[in-house]
Amino acid sequence: MDNILEITDLGKRYGRMVAVEGVRFSLAPGKILGLLGPNGSGKTTIMKVIMGLLTDYTGEVRIAGAPPEVHPPGVAANRYISYLPDAGHIPTWFTTEQAIRFFADFYTDFDEAKAGEMLDAMKIPRHKRVKALSRGMQEKVQLAMVMARRAKLYILDEPIGAVDPASRDFILNTLLAHYAEDSAILLSSHIIADIESVLDEAVFLREGKICMMGEADALRQERGMSLDQIFREVFRNA
């Protein structure tokens, strides 16, 4: 089966500043890959390039096995991708019910029933405005909207970055429970200890370049330590 995502020699500059350089990795169906690195290491930049939010990059991004000229990052490819950005992206004056309606209107693969079940499980009222919810609840609403889509690729930028430890567990369990086996997840985080248990593969980024990558179990075995410990060792002086 074709890889869902293939990145080849990706480079992105902001003026003279190199954000990402020479990044190369792929993601197969059914896998969860973690982009790991400190703030400013290029994780979000890579995700935004895949989503078509950033242009003027070098290298190749291949989505769902299609050549870039057929499905370049952007409108056509985004039909296969469900994206959770780092920042809050749902209009805060929306109620949760309006958010469901919005996603259902634009995405044919959005499962309204599934979204409703997730919100009910989180005990989030349907008629409450997003801005009236706590930060953690807002993250959960956004995650519910993203995971309620039957996408081939889920891209989650710092999904647990701004929530309490109990909510982190809930979010990670929701991720595992609601993605299909023929889909894949690309997630980024700098809180390695909480997410490493769900990762199949890991890519460590430093200053826009890959400094280590491989299967999570293989890296743990090779180094004799957890991914969190590897991260702390690799980025001790970052």
Partner 1 sequence: MLRKQLKYDFIFAARFFLGMGAAGIGLGLLVFIMGGLSQSPANFSLGAMQLMSTAWTVALAMSVAQIYQLYSRQFFGEVGHLMLTLPVGRGVQLLSKYLVALFWSFYIFATMFLSLRLMAARSESSSVGITGPGGEVLTGINLAGPLMQFAALAFSAVAILFLIVTLANCTLGGWRVHTIIAWLVGGLYFAAFVWAIAAISGRAREWVTVDTSFVHDGVVHMGMRTFLAPTIGADIGRVPLGDMYVDVYLIAAALAFGLAAAGATHWLLRKKITLA
Q: Which residues between 29 and 58 bind partner 1 (CB under 8 A)?
A: 48, 51-56
2 touches partner 1 by CB under 8 A:
no
206 binds partner 1 (CB under 8 A): no
Structure-block tokens of residue 164: 């309490």
Stretch 104-123 residues interacting with partner 1 (CB under 8 A): 105-107
**Token couple for 206:** 């430093």
CB of 189 to partner 1, least distance (A): 18
Name the residue nearer to partner 1 (CB basis): 8 or 107: 107
- How crowded is residue 54: how many other Cβ atoms within 10 Å of its Cβ? 18
Minimum distance of partner 1 from residue 91's CB (angstroms): 6
Give percent helix, percent strand, percent coil of the chain, each to the nearest 5.
35, 30, 35
Distance in angstroms (rounded) separating the CA atoms of residues 103 and 109: 9
Distance CA 12, CA 96 (A): 36
CB 231 within 8 A of CB 204: yes
Token pair, residue 162, equals 């701004």
Q: Which is nearer to partner 1, 37 or 202 (CB)?
A: 37
- Residue 216 Cβ, how far from partner 1 at the closest point, in Å? 28
Output the 3-class SS for 165-232.
Answer: HHHHHHHHHHHHHHCCCCCEEEEEECCHHHHHHHCCEEEEEECCEEEEEEEHHHHHHHHCCCHHHHHH
CB of 137 to partner 1, least distance (A): 17
* CA 232 to chain CA centroid, nearest Å: 22
- Least Å distance, CB 221 to partner 1, is 37
Q: Which is nearer to partner 1, 100 or 219 (by Cβ)?
A: 100
**Minimum CB–partner distance for residue 83 and partner 1 (Å):** 5
Give how many residues touch partner 1 by CB under 8 A: 24
3-state DSSP assignment of residue 167: helix
CB of 41 to partner 1, least distance (A): 15
**Residue 91 engages partner 1 in binding (rule: CB under 8 A):** yes
**Residue 157 or 201 having the CB closest to partner 1:** 157
Pattern 71-90, partner 1, x by CB under 8 A: ----x--xx-x-x-x-xxxx
How many Å apart are CA 235 and CA 238, to the nearest integer?
Answer: 5
- The site for partner 1 (CB under 8 A) is made up of 14, 48, 51-56, 75, 78-79, 81, 83, 85, 87-91, 93, 102, 105-107
